[in-house]
Amino acid sequence: MSETVKNRGWQVTMAGLGINLALGVLYAWSIFKGAIKSSIEQGGPDAFQWSMSSINDPYAASCLVFAFAMILAGKCQDKIGPARTALIGGLLVGSGFTLMSFSNSYAAWIVGFGVLAGSGFGFGYAAATPPALKWFSSTKTGLIAGTVVAGFGLAPVYIAPLASWLLNTYGIQKSMLFLGCGFTVLVCCLSFLLVNPPQGYVPAEPAKKDDGKPAAKAVYNANVSEMIRSPKFYLLWTTFFIGAGAGLMVIGSVAVLAKKSMGPMAFVAVAIMAIGNASGRVVAGVLSDKIGRRSTLSIMLAFQALLMFAAIPIVGSGSAGMLVLAATFIGFNYGSNLCLFPSFAKDYWGFKNYGLNYGTLFTAWGVGGFVMGRVSEMLNAQPGGLNKSFILAGCLCALGTVMTFFLEPAVAVEEIR
């Protein structure tokens, strides 16, 4: 059948990339956080009346809701298809930002950014990668997954300066309305380009030399109950929790950290970190196709551990250049997680229940972001708390590196569709 069906793989890949470029507004939270902090400090009748310890809560809630929405979104993607699932995501994000545009109350932002937008991120993100992977051979799993999810990481490159300009020109409320309308239109339009290949479609595999090794076997398509009974699921979940939590801790605060040395140009640090985030997804994807998922994950987590410890003297030095450099590499290592773990899920448990399976695994991302975000905010409120946050993240990344040694190699296999 693959010979008679037009391959729409790159169309679907680019549509998924575009959707993630819109949904990646999550990673620009530190820009919004800085504006909220300034509003609280300046005071006045229209100012945000929040406590300083709570300004990261909408972001932490959004990460958590995003992750658990992936379970429902993954099931929807498997049942009703990626186009309708992404369409729901776009409408949810739009409704969340619209709510924030009408209120600066803590509850409105928790519901708007945390619950509605967080759910929308989950639905859009869940719909983007699976259909793209299904159009390509197993030898390109890492490359395609990395390309699609790179959009999410790359988004702050344009959203950070755009949001900064909107906030300075129109204020927080109107900025949320403009961003919400723009992202809703973009995601909803691109959703119609997300299509699965027809039943029975098998992508052409590249010719392989006979090296004497046994041929790859058809992958075992596990359901979610079988997956969660597997020990490697819990190893993957924990390492994903660590890698995602450490990265999100820094991403959520990078603009605030950079403001001390860069002032109003702090958004540049967010944009450059986003380039590292997106690059990590593509590079790790290509590398994992070459040397294996487990080896790539071990390298990235070990590198992240070193960077977390190195960040302590760098942040203390007040050097804008060193801070941006460290943030870029932290973003690079964090981004690799968002390519490696969907590839692990496909290699270990197959495509049949991929949406629900990966959605379940993805809860580690949300729990990691929520826990590390809350813990770091509590630590930062104490003397020397920032250093404690980096030490904790560094120790966890080192532990995650050791845990990867117990993972079975994820060998690319041929898929029965």
Domain spans, the chain: 9-203+218-404
Closest to 326 measured CA to CA, from 299, 306, 296: 306
93-102, 144-153, 378-387, range with the lowest pLDDT:
378-387
How many angstroms separate the CA atoms of 196 and 252, rounded? 34
Q: What is the DSSP letter of 237?
A: H
209, pLDDT greater than 70: no
Residue 148 in contact with residue 346, Cβ under 8 Å?
no
pLDDT digits (tens, 9 = 90+) for 45-64: 778 888 877 888 898 889 88
Nearest to 132 by CA among 116, 146, 122: 146
pLDDT in tens, 346-380: 888 887 888 788 889 989 988 888 888 778 777 76
- Choice among 158-162, 352-356, 401-405 with the minimum mean pLDDT: 352-356
Global pTM value: 0.76
In angstroms, rounded to a whole number, what is the distance separating the alpha carbons of residues 157 and 256? 17
What pLDDT sits at residue 151? Answer: 85
The amino acid present at 395, given as its one-letter code, is: C
Only one residue has tokens 């409105």, namely 108
Residue 414 CA, distance from chain mean position? 27
Averaged pLDDT of the chain: 85
Say which CATH class 9-203+218-404 falls into.
mainly alpha
- Which range, of 213-222, 260-269, 306-315, averages the lowest pLDDT? 213-222
**Which residue has tokens 């801790």?**
249
Most confident of 62-76, 89-103, 351-365: 89-103
d(CA 36, CA 47): 8
pLDDT of residue 218: 52
The C-alpha atoms of residue 29 and residue 254 are separated, in whole angstroms, by: 10
Distance CA 375, CA 26 (A): 19
296 neighbors 350 (Cβ within 8 angstroms): no
Q: In 192-253, which residue ranges form alpha helices assigned H by DSSP?
A: 224-227, 231-251
Of 58-67, 310-319, 381-390, the range with the lowest mean pLDDT is 381-390
pLDDT at position 252 over 60:
yes
- With bands split at pLDDT 50, 70 and 90, how would you rate the model's confidence at 205? low
- Report d(CA 117, CA 324) in Å as an integer: 28
Label residue 263 by pLDDT band (50, 70, 90): confident
Contact by Cβ (8 Å): 57, 338: no
Provide the token pair at 203.
Answer: 């992508």
Mean local confidence (pLDDT), 67-96:
91
